[in-house]
Amino acid sequence: MSVVLPYLLSGISVGGQYALIAIGYTMVYGILRLINFAHGDVFMVAGVMMVYLSASLPLYVSMPLMLILTVIIGFAIERAAYKPLRSAPRMSIMISAIGVSYLLQNLAAYITGGLAQQYPTVPGISASVNIGPATTKVVTLVTPFLVIALVFALVMLINHTKIGMAMRAVSKDYDTAQLMGIRINAVISATFVIGSFLAAVGSVLYFTNYTAVTYTSGAMPGLKAFVAAVFGGIGSIPGAVIGAFIIGISENIVKGLEAMLGMAGINLNIGLATFSDAVTFALLIIILVVKPTGLFGEKATEKV
């Protein structure tokens, strides 16, 4: 147990961070049928902004400012790069998303000089704590609770508010939603605002744990979160959250598997820990082969 616990804790924590990013992928897909490749980079940009804002401003100003700026960036990306392509073939929007992804990475590379930047310490969650035999940061313990609270709030918003009802309608049927008087563009913007906000919160949790931000920092978490969204069934919010926890936990279990087996008297010196990312993608391949719509994905069949 003493060997498993730290890996499990960090798996739950990183899973929660992936979940916050994965929700952005899955909501945008649900409404636009677009894989927003720039989403992982929005997450990275949130981290970079926090580095520079906290250098000159106190935390209680820099953090809210970072959240607001990230939301504005997410909104602006949609208006500038996706909205003009609304009636274009889906492939065009996807290519535009890839373009935005590279644009953000290159801007960040230019601003940071391509160097890793030290993420500011956030009082309260950066401190270390001991859980029995394991030592971890407070953020590891806070993450799952914060994620659950945010997901609960999001589910309430979607199921019990007018804008949430509009989101559900738009994700099903553009024309009929408009006949109800719903403005599609406003709903799409709201989706990007929510997705970017959650990614910004995720970036605080993630970078408090990993401490360094580089211009490529969004790539791997972004990809993992995307895998989580597909794993859970893209378009489904509970699916994305559960998928993210499964992926976070399994990659960390793999990291610690050799040590755990060592305790049981089995010595494998094959460097299994380096395969933790491979496991994530192997999981994706398996789920796509066995259940292509993911754990909670909608069936493609429609009753006419």
Binding positions for another protein, rule: CB under 8 A = 162, 165-166, 168-169, 172-173, 175-176, 178-183, 303-304
Q: Read off the tokens for 264.
A: 């049981």
CB of 181 to another protein, least distance (A): 4
CA-based end-to-end distance of the chain: 54
Q: Which ranges constitute the DSSP H helices of the chain?
A: 4-32, 39-56, 59-77, 90-112, 138-160, 162-172, 174-179, 184-210, 219-232, 237-263, 276-290
d(CA 13, CA 237): 18
- Shorter beta-carbon distance to another protein: residue 183 or 288: 183
Q: Is 124 helix (H, G, I), strand (E, B) or coil?
A: coil
Rounded to 5 degrees, φ, ψ at 243 are -60, -40
CB of 163 to another protein, least distance (A): 10
CB of 176 to another protein, least distance (A): 4
CB of 258 to another protein, least distance (A): 45
- Shorter beta-carbon distance to another protein: residue 235 or 248: 235
Q: Read off the tokens for 26.
A: 């899955």
- Shorter beta-carbon distance to another protein: residue 173 or 277: 173
d(CA 108, CA 41): 9
CB of 139 to another protein, least distance (A): 36
CB of 60 to another protein, least distance (A): 36
- Shorter beta-carbon distance to another protein: residue 92 or 178: 178
- Shorter beta-carbon distance to another protein: residue 115 or 180: 180
- The neighbouring-strand residues paired with 137 are 128
CA Rg value for the chain: 20
- Shorter beta-carbon distance to another protein: residue 58 or 181: 181
CB of 173 to another protein, least distance (A): 6
- Shorter beta-carbon distance to another protein: residue 61 or 86: 86
- Shorter beta-carbon distance to another protein: residue 33 or 172: 172
CB 248 within 8 A of CB 17: yes
CB of 302 to another protein, least distance (A): 9
Question: Can you give the length of the chain in residues?
Answer: 304
* Contacts of 277 by beta carbon, 8 Å cutoff, 6+ apart: 220, 251
Q: In 151-183, which positions are buried (b, 16+ CB within 10 angstroms) versus exposed (e)?
A: beebeeebeeeeebebbebbbeeeeebeeeebe
d(CA 219, CA 246): 19
